Structure 1
């Protein structure tokens, strides 16, 4: 578990929530901004003019951000200390549910 592992985990936990917040901002504005890699060109997709493309893009970004956060937790599950924390949390939640 060297520097590269922690760099990946930290970058996942930084970019995942940012992408999720950005998708919520797109929902509130009603305009999705599609950026093209390597150029300054942007395409604005309005909710009223292209609803199917807008909703597919927003939902895809929201699901990708949630999957990134889940992937970060999967990476953290490989560490024995964090795995012990997970089992304690699950046990306490199960005790509260009873």
Structure 2
């Protein structure tokens, strides 16, 4: 594992729900990141964001770590869930809420 992989691994393990996004929670800097933040805000659940624009090594490393080419990326309980399109679909189906309720119940 590289140092970047170790850093990402620590972020994922230390935060039950983490969104790797472009920008911050209060100021997402791309439409897809905005969409994902909006969904988590609507659900009113605790989550953490990591601004990949502030760390180029993690911005590139997260793509390898998850084997997913785009950002945002959402991890719940150390599991990679997906990007904006998958999060929107899971939310619309009610499956994202179910998954988060399980995490918060633990």
Say yes or no: TM over 0.5: no
Larger radius of gyration: 1
More strand by percentage: 2
| TM bracket, shorter-chain basis | under 0.3
TM-score, structure 1 length as denominator? 0.25
